[in-house]
């Protein structure tokens, strides 16, 4: 029988989705269903992607503070996209379809993140804060290099390309959404089937090896999945910042356990509730469309500080 808390979370996520579809709905439902429905699907897709990627990444690094965003993974995706534009140029890139571009940068991200975090998580894992700080600085580095390269590209050309590379909430690319949903679905299936192994991974590398888990292989699979999820969510709406940390902290706080099965479900539902509910509230009720991300950034930063101060009191 499902946990009461999960039922509650499911209902709140459902309520958020219904509110998103219904609040301020005017005009023909044929149009609304397609228009709002596509948007809702996008939001749900990235909510699930961020939630699963964050929980998975935290397990791979055996702690509850790291998230792919904090470690600069989405900044790396943006950097790779920028390099792609820089190397191929506007003409070269325009001749490729959106799907090909997406797949190319996803593969690049997978390669780069396995290389970078495979080494980092193996070598630096004893010293969590060094790892964390290195990740944060890598994130800043990726953003700085992207900014620098984008200055080197012809400004007008870059603006056009940027618009094409990053679909926004208002201009959802339907075929990209289909690929993304497929990708996220596949990742979720793989992660779900491995949830018990992940329970063991969360005990730390040495304990996991002692219990017969091939940690190198799990780390590799995990990083590939995290890369896929980050690439899809970043391609759909851009970097999500601290959102993942907020979700995972709430999920662990609420579930009190670290069994990956319930935690994954809880995190995904919390994520949907916040993103869809928040978007409804800010866009339809408060009419402050683009500031949701700022509020999430604020709450995420506070969450980080709270986690640290609760755990590491002087």
Partner 1 sequence: MIDIQNVTYHHGRSLILDDVSLRLKKGGITALVGPNGAGKSTLFALMARLLPLQSGSIRFDEMEVGKTGTQSLARKLAILRQEANVASRITVRDLVGFGRFPHHQGRASEADEAFVQKSLHEFDLASIADRFIDELSGGQRQRALVAMAFAQDTDYLLLDEPLNNLDMYFARSLMQQLRALADAYGKTIVIVLHEINYASGHADEIIALKQGRVALQAPPESFMTAENLFAIYGMDVQVETFGNRKIALHQV
Partner 2 sequence: MPRETPPQRPWIRVTLTTSIVAILLCLILISLSIGVIETSLADLFSQAADGEGLLLLSRLPRTLATLLAGASLAVAGFILQTLVQNRFVEPATVGTADSAALGLIGVSIVLPDAGIFSKMLVGSLAAFVGALGFLALVKRLPRTQPLLVPLCGIFYGGVISSVATFLAYENDLMQYIGIWMNGEFSGVLQGRYELLWASGLIALAGYAYADKFTIAGLGRDTASGLGLNYSQTIHLGLAIVAMVTAFTVITVGMLPFVGLVVPNIVSRFVGDNSRKVLPLVALVGGTFVLGSDILGRVLRFPYEIPAGAIFGVIGTFVFLWLLLARPSRA
Binding site for partner 2 (CB under 8 A): 127, 129-130, 132-134, 136-138, 140-141, 143-145, 147-148, 151-152, 155, 242, 288, 290-291, 294-295, 297-298, 301-302, 304-305, 308-309, 312-314
Q: Which of 303, 299, 238 is nearest to 274 (CA)?
A: 299
* Nearest approach, Cβ of residue 186 and partner 2 (Å): 33
Taking the complex as a whole, the smallest distance from the CB of residue 214 to partner 1 amounts, in Å, to 5
Near partner 1 in 195-214, by CB under 8 A: 195-197, 199-200, 202-207, 209-214
Nearer to partner 1, 210 or 289 (CB): 210
Give me 294's structure tokens: 């700022």
Q: Using H for helix, E for strand and C for coil, what is the string for 82-121?
A: HHHHHHHHHHHHHCCCHHHHHHHHHHHHHHHHHHHHHHHH
CB proximity list for 17: less than 8 A, separation 6 or greater: 40, 44, 272, 276
Interatomic CA distance for residues 167 and 101, integer angstroms: 13
Stretch that binds partner 1, among 5-13, 111-119, 189-197, 277-285 (CB under 8 A): 189-197
Give start and end residues of each alpha helix (H) in 124-213.
Answer: 128-152, 155-165, 174-193, 195-201, 205-210
Q: Which of 13, 62, 76, 266 binds partner 1 (CB under 8 A)?
A: 62
Q: Could you tell which of partner 1, partner 2, none binds residue 212, using a CB distance below 5 to 8 A set by kind? A: partner 1
Sign of CA dihedral 20, 49, 306, 254: positive
Residue 206 near which of partner 1, partner 2, none (CB within 5-8 Å, type-dependent): partner 1
* CA–CA distance, 242 with 248 (Å, rounded to integer): 10
Number of residues that bind partner 1 (CB under 8 A): 25
Binding segment for partner 1 (CB under 8 A), chosen from 35-43, 144-152, 161-169, 251-259, is 251-259
Q: Are 132 and 66 in contact (CB under 8 A)?
A: yes
57 or 242, CB closer to partner 2? Answer: 242
Q: Give the span between the Cα atoms of 59 and 219, in whole angstroms.
A: 10
- Residue 224 contact among partner 1, partner 2, none, beta carbon within 5 to 8 Å by kind: none
Instruction: Give 61-73 as a 3 state SS string.
Output: CCCCCCCCCCCCH
- Residue with Cβ nearer partner 2 (23 or 295): 295
Residue 125 beta carbon to partner 1: minimum distance, rounded to whole angstroms:
11
The interface partner of residue 213, options being partner 2, partner 1, none and the CB cut-off 5 to 8 Å by kind, is: partner 1
Q: Angle at which helices 4-22 and 260-279 pack, to 10 degrees?
A: 20
Contact residues toward partner 1 (CB under 8 A) are 62-64, 195-197, 199-200, 202-207, 209-214, 252, 256-259
């Amino acid at each position: 029988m499902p946990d009461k808390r999960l039922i509650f979370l499911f209902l709140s996520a459902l309520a958020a989705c219904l509110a998103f579809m219904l609040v301020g709905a005017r005009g023909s439902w044929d149009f609304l269903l397609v228009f709002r429905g596509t948007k809702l699907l996008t939001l749900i897709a990235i909510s699930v992607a961020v939630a699963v990627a964050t929980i998975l990444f935290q397990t791979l690094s055996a702690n509850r503070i790291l998230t792919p965003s904090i470690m600069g993974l989405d900044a790396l995706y943006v950097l790779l996209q920028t390099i792609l534009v820089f190397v191929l140029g506007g003409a070269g890139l325009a001749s490729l379809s959106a799907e090909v571009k997406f797949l190319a940068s996803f593969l690049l991200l997978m390669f780069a993140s396995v290389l970078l975090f495979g080494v980092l998580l193996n070598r630096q894992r004893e010293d969590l804060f060094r790892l964390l700080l290195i990740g944060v600085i890598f994130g800043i580095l990726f953003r700085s290099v992207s900014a620098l390269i984008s200055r080197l590209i012809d400004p007008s050309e870059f603006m056009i390309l940027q618009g094409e590379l990053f679909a926004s909430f208002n201009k959802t690319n339907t075929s990209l959404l289909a690929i993304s949903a497929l990708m996220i679905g596949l990742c979720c299936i793989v992660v779900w089937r491995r949830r018990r192994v992940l329970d063991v991974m969360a005990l730390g590398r040495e304990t996991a090896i002692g219990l017969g888990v091939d940690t190198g292989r799990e780390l590799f699979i995990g990083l590939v999945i995290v890369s896929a999820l980050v690439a899809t969510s970043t391609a759909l709406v851009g970097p999500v910042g601290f959102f993942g940390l907020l979700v995972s902290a709430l999920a662990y706080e609420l579930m009190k356990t670290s069994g990956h099965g319930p935690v994954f479900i809880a995190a995904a539902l919390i994520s949907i509730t916040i993103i869809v509910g928040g978007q409804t509230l800010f866009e339809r009720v408060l009419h402050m469309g683009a500031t949701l991300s700022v509020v999430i950034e604020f709450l995420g930063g506070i969450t980080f500080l709270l986690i640290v101060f609760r755990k590491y009191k002087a």
